[in-house]
């Protein structure tokens, strides 16, 4: 599908299967989400620009590649986005972080904003939006809209699971924002959950109900 990368790496798929299993503990789920996030981060940053710089190793001088160009912002859609955020920051600790607080109105399934904080210089950075579940895409679409209003111009969206309905809606609203996911599942149910999915990502991360 155009603009959508499904990350089929065996480690990602193996960890995802354990996360889907309803017997997996809260601690196990959180740990696996953090681990998968580093692998997703590896993929979404695969094309970052490098430049040769002069350094001295203990054995002498060399030219070696270092990142140049745009710095990163990770934008976490609260609260489940924080599970992916931790793993991303493990890999890119110097990145800046934006937080977008949205909750799903259980009746209308629309996104309602309660918190927004983003770095001042977001316009000059690559913004990687993280939210584990791209279900109806209402929150993802709203989060990206708010980030664009704040000046973000170069964005990518990373999730763990997507529903085909969510992918279609997100791509329709933000065709300039590519999606990275570990799986596109079968469909959304009448409550807006991804099937077969893994349940409520936030509840499974934090042991709430």
| Piece of 10-18, 54-62, 87-95, 186-194 that binds ligand URA (CB under 6 A) | 186-194
Among 194, 196, 208, 209, binds ligand URA (CB under 6 A): 194
Q: If binding is defined by CB under 6 A, does position 142 make contact with ligand URA?
A: no
Q: Is 203 annotated in the active site?
A: yes
Query: Contact at 8 Å (CB) between 83 and 76?
Result: no
Do the annotations mark residue 199 as ligand-binding?
yes
Q: Which of 89, 73, 175, 169 is nearest to 129 (CA)?
A: 73
42 binds ligand URA (CB under 6 A): no
How many angstroms from the chain centroid is the CA of residue 201?
A: 13
Cα(19)–Cα(82) distance, integer angstroms: 16
- Verify binding: residue 197, ligand URA, rule CB under 6 A: yes
104 labeled binding residue: yes
Q: Which residues contact 49 (CB under 8 A, 6 or more apart)?
A: 67, 68, 69, 70
**Least CB distance to ligand URA at residue 125 (A):** 27
Q: How far apart (Å, rounded) are the C-alpha atoms in residues 51 and 5?
A: 26
Nearer to ligand URA, 164 or 192 (CB): 192
Query: Could you list the active site residues?
Result: 104, 108, 200, 203
């Amino acid at each position: 599908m155009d603009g959508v990368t499904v990350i089929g790496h065996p480690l990602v798929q193996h960890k995802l299967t354990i996360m889907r299993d309803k017997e997996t503990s809260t601690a196990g789920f959180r740990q696996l989400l953090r681990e998968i996030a580093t692998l997703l981060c590896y993929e979404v940053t695969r094309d970052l620009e490098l430049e040769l710089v002069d350094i001295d190793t203990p054995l002498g001088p060399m030219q070696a590649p270092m990142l140049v160009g745009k710095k990163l912002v990770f934008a976490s859609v609260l609260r489940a986005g924080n599970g992916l955020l931790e793993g991303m920051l493990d890999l890119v600790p110097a990145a800046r972080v934006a937080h977008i607080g949205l909750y799903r109105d259980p009746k209308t399934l629309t996104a309602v904003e309660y918190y927004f904080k983003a770095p001042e210089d977001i316009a000059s950075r690559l913004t990687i939006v993280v939210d584990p579940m791209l279900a109806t895409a209402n929150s993802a679409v709203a989060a990206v809209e708010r980030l664009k209003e704040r000046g973000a111009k170069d964005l990518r969206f990373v999730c763990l699971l997507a529903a085909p309905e969510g992918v279609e809606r997100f791509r329709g609203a933000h065709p300039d924002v590519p999606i990275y996911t570990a799986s596109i599942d079968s469909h959304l149910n009448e409550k807006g959950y991804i099937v077969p999915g893994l349940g409520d990502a936030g509840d499974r991360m934090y042991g709430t109900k």
